[in-house]
Amino acid sequence: MVYRTTIRLPSDFFQDTGTNNVSEFVQQLKQTMHNLKPVPTSSHGRKTVFVHPELSQCTHVFLRHDAIRKPLQTPYDGPFVVVKRSEKLITQQRQGKEICVSIDRVKPAFMLSDTIESK
């Protein structure tokens, strides 16, 4: 009445394709669904950790401090002396104790040669 035209039902929006045979429609639907290709999923939650190449031969490392930090507090503690290393772990000398930590938490410390000798 507002648009001065007849009211249309939702079924009036679609044109009849002339397929009255249900079995033919089912066959077309099966063929269409068979031709659909799945979309590969992505993994957003998977993070890769960067391991510095110099970590395998450095003498000192910084240790990441994983607690809540105060404002302007540095994210790494150290440098600490490397005592022993394996593929996934580094044993370091910290406050007179040997502590074993994952390589994901450390980064190499590049020290001047006179600084190392003075310690």
Predicted confidence (pLDDT) per residue in 78-118, tens digit: 889 999 988 889 999 888 889 999 988 899 998 876 555 55
Cβ 78 vs Cβ 109: under 8 Å: yes
Q: Give the pLDDT confidence score for residue 62 in this predicted structure.
A: 92
Phi, psi values for residue 95, rounded to 5°: 55, 45
Q: Characterize 62-93 residue by residue with b for buried, 16 or more Cβ atoms within 10 angstroms of its Cβ, and e for exposed.
A: bbeeeeeeeeeeeeeebbbbbeebeeeebebe
Predicted confidence (pLDDT) per residue in 1-23, tens digit: 577 777 777 777 766 666 668 88
pTM of the entire predicted model: 0.54
Average pLDDT over residues 50-71: 88
